Structure 1
Amino acid sequence: MQLSGHAFAPRSSQRCEAFFHLEQNEVGSQQWVLALEGQRFCYPLQDVEFSAPVGNMPIRLQLPDGRMFITQRTSELDKWLKSQQRWTLKLDWLERHWIAWLSSGILCLVLLVSGYHYALPWVGSKTAQALPERWSLLIGDQVLDTLDHIYQPSQLSMDQQNAIRSRVAGYLEKLPVMPFSIEIEFRSSPGESNAFALPGGKMVILDDLVAMMENPRQLDAIIMHELGHIYHRHMLTRLVQSSIISVAVAVMTGEASGVIDNMAGVGVFLLANQQSRRNEQQADAFARQAMMRLFDDHQALAKAFERLKQQPGLELPQWLSTHPDIEQRIRDAQISP
């Protein structure tokens, strides 16, 4: 068997035409011979490394003295290598059979989706529970410092703020034990009626939310919802999950250009929404149970959602919203836990 191709000297990109063939040596065993520019180089049979075949790509032969020989695939070479069991042709078989590629792609997709829906929540939850409390507190403080560049100081009187804090402190004695001490912060953002939990037990309530609620019990229902996020460590869990997704996307893309980052950001956002909606539903369930335990009635939660529904703003389609459909939340809030 004689192969024609090009040879490269060690650590050189200069190539020259060459021939590679098998022959008998003086002791009667086979050896490889590289012939180029009137010279012959002999190599023991087992010392020549062949690259795995992939489609019509050339075969690369790594020689023990550092030289490299590149040749095109031939049926004769394939037959010889297979007889010598130098490689199994599995990758080559996959490349030549589109059904195998399709099956492999579907399998990878199933594993990816399963990992996202089952492994990622489990890993995120376990990691969030294992993180030291001081880390959670530090993250919450840093997030609040960032928000203070966006939101304004609260215009509520100290009496109003302390009354809300006092009510919540009384409620906490009757609710499941929280993983962190609860700290309620008040801020103002004209036109925004919202409340949200931060890692480490902090909760931010905006002035317009307080003004929007018809009575303290409706506000308390929203606070119970945010306590549900704190109880289940949703914010910290989502932070861990988004970090895992971001690292995974970076590994899969293999680059960090602005275009890739933007595309990855949109993809990560859409993937994370489904998990976020599940968290909201879990927090709603906690709020219903808490209202039943505190007041033997949970209808204030539905009323609070109805009030939030009335606030002006851009309606996002459900697949793009991080919260479940508001109409569905109102219906769920009316159902006894």
Structure 2
Amino acid sequence: MESESSQRNSAAPPAPGAVFFDGASNRRRNVALTLSDALEIRDDGEELARWAFHDIRRADSPSGLLRLSCLTAPSLARLEIRDAQLTAGLVARCDALEDGLPNRKSVAAIVGWSLAAAVSIVLVVLFGVPLAAERLTPLVPDSFERRLGDVAEAQVKVIFDGKPCSNADGQAAFTKLVGKLRESAGLDNSVQSGVLATSVPNAFALPGGKVYLFDGLLAKADNPDEVAGVLAHELGHLRHRDSMRELIHNGGTSFLIGLLFGDVTGSGALIFASRSLVTSSYSRDAETNADTFAIETMHKLGRPAKPMGELMFRVTGKEGKGLSLVSSHPLTEDRLERMAKADAGAALNGAPLLSPAEWQALKDICGSGKV
């Protein structure tokens, strides 16, 4: 009676039904296999390869297919077997077949580390990125911030299809209004501002000292104080560099989320961050600080801050719903009430910011002066 060892090493007749790739070309060969002291791979009687059983390893393969590689063969060489009997014979002879494949413990470890990485990214997004934005914003050079503002300015005109309004009388009134606010706020003349001919009722600040007012908001305003308050609010965002801070915050968040979902190039972060220059929404603290800045600026001029709140409230509705201002100027009744209380304790005896004729010219700034 033959021993088990001799049975394992005895030659079995050639078995068809295998496909061989030699790793040196893309040629597909239908081969016969012989299980002797090693695995012999033959094509029409010609021996193509001889693989030692202890060098054979299982490769990734779909269900119903055994795909093999060999440590001593070219790295791309593969043998594919579908015959169940032949598969069983090979499995019985290859004692290191599973070496190198992930086992349950390693799979569990991979899953665990993946979950830990995901949680870490979420924590960085929630806590690390805001802190980094706060610390990095003061370090951004003014020249770089101005270049970002130029990029955002071009996007504004594309996204909102708005052209600068330059009616001479209206522009003179607008320049006078912005000048008074700038001087009251202690800002230098590097601040740039303009009115765009678009029906969207909005106003916002861009990095590098740019403030834009949309004709759609002018159309809804009833007096100069309403518009002045909104502009003062935007000047507050400029003074506090809120646009730059939000750019760092949103760009960093988008980049990390992109990594989580496979955007290793960071292209999504670039697109998101760039667009956030135009459509960013500020944090509650940033909005509160900008409100405070606007209130103080208006009161230095002896003018009320409440009209600003009334204009924004008129546009957005009770809880800031429905129109474009909700994205960048969420206004609640609490904020409007705060402005009214601040006005109650202030000396509001300043001269009107614009004459009736200047106010009418500002309202008509996008009339015949569109370019």
| 1:27-70 Cα shifts (integer Å, max 9, x gaps) | xxxxx534222326335677656436787774441552453223
Shift of 1:147: 4.3
Give the one of 13, 28, 35 matched to 2:41: 35
**CA–CA distance in 1 between the matches of 2:56 and 2:139?**
51
Per the normalisation by structure 1, the TM-score is 0.63
Per the normalisation by structure 2, the TM-score is 0.58
Kindly indicate whether the alpha-carbon contact (under 8 Å) linking 2:121 and 2:256 is maintained by their aligned counterparts in 1: no
Residue 335 (structure 2) pairs with residue 330 (structure 1) = yes
Shift of 1:322: 2.3
In the alignment, residue 330 of structure 1 is paired with which amino acid?
R
Residue 25 (structure 2) pairs with residue 15 (structure 1) = no
**CA 1:138–1:190: 2 relative to 1, 3 Å:** closer
Give the one of 300, 308, 313 matched to 1:309: 313
**CA–CA distance in 2 between the matches of 1:88 and 1:249?**
27
| 1:77-118 Cα shifts (integer Å, max 9, x gaps) | 799337x74334148856xxxxx97x8887676455444433
Give the one of 76, 80, 98 matched to 1:70: 80
Provide the identity percentage: 13
Structure 1: gaps spanning 5 or more residues: 24-31, 95-99, 255-260
**CA 1:253–1:307: 2 relative to 1, 3 Å:** same
**CA 1:112–1:79: 2 relative to 1, 3 Å:** farther
**CA–CA distance in 2 between the matches of 1:300 and 1:56?**
79
**CA 1:128–1:291: 2 relative to 1, 3 Å:** closer
In the alignment, residue 172 of structure 1 is paired with which amino acid?
A
Please name the residue that 2:95 is paired with: 80
**CA–CA distance in 1 between the matches of 2:34 and 2:249?**
54
What SS does the aligned partner of 2:332 have? Answer: helix
Please name the residue that 1:162 is paired with: 175
Kindly indicate whether the alpha-carbon contact (under 8 Å) linking 1:53 and 1:91 is maintained by their aligned counterparts in 2: no
Shift of 1:197: 0.8
Kindly indicate whether the alpha-carbon contact (under 8 Å) linking 1:47 and 1:64 is maintained by their aligned counterparts in 2: no
In the alignment, residue 153 of structure 1 is paired with which amino acid?
C
Shift of 1:8: 1.0
**CA 1:210–1:16: 2 relative to 1, 3 Å:** same
Residue 185 (structure 2) pairs with residue 172 (structure 1) = yes
**CA 1:190–1:48: 2 relative to 1, 3 Å:** closer
In the alignment, residue 162 of structure 2 is paired with which amino acid?
I
What SS does the aligned partner of 1:161 have? Answer: helix
**CA 1:61–1:183: 2 relative to 1, 3 Å:** same
Kindly indicate whether the alpha-carbon contact (under 8 Å) linking 2:19 and 2:80 is maintained by their aligned counterparts in 1: yes
Give the one of 150, 156, 178 matched to 2:162: 150
**CA–CA distance in 2 between the matches of 1:56 and 1:311?**
65
| 1:264-291 Cα shifts (integer Å, max 9, x gaps) | 89xx79xx8xx944x1523321123324
Kindly indicate whether the alpha-carbon contact (under 8 Å) linking 1:54 and 1:91 is maintained by their aligned counterparts in 2: no
**CA 1:282–1:41: 2 relative to 1, 3 Å:** same
Kindly indicate whether the alpha-carbon contact (under 8 Å) linking 1:222 and 1:301 is maintained by their aligned counterparts in 2: no
| 1:171-222 Cα shifts (integer Å, max 9, x gaps) | 333xxxx8x9751322142644432111211111235545655555544432
**CA 1:56–1:327: 2 relative to 1, 3 Å:** farther
Which structure 2 residues correspond to residues 52-131 of structure 1 after superposition, within 5 A?
58-62=66-70, 64-65=73-74, 67-71=77-81, 76=91, 80-81=95-96, 85-90=99-104, 110-111=119-120, 113-122=122-131, 130-131=139-140
Paired positions, count: 306
Structure 2: gaps spanning 5 or more residues: 1-7, 343-371
Kindly indicate whether the alpha-carbon contact (under 8 Å) linking 2:162 and 2:196 is maintained by their aligned counterparts in 1: no
**CA 1:246–1:153: 2 relative to 1, 3 Å:** farther
Q: Which moved more, 1:194-203 or 1:50-59?
A: 50-59
What SS does the aligned partner of 1:11 have? Answer: coil
**CA 1:86–1:53: 2 relative to 1, 3 Å:** farther
**CA–CA distance in 2 between the matches of 1:208 and 1:276?**
19
| 1:144-170 Cα shifts (integer Å, max 9, x gaps) | 345456224144535423322332332
Give the one of 189, 197, 206 matched to 1:198: 206
In the alignment, residue 175 of structure 2 is paired with which amino acid?
N
Shift of 1:7: 1.4
Kindly indicate whether the alpha-carbon contact (under 8 Å) linking 1:193 and 1:308 is maintained by their aligned counterparts in 2: no
In the alignment, residue 147 of structure 2 is paired with which amino acid?
L
Kindly indicate whether the alpha-carbon contact (under 8 Å) linking 1:194 and 1:205 is maintained by their aligned counterparts in 2: yes
**CA–CA distance in 1 between the matches of 2:316 and 2:102?**
65
Shift of 1:14: 1.0
Shift of 1:300: 4.9
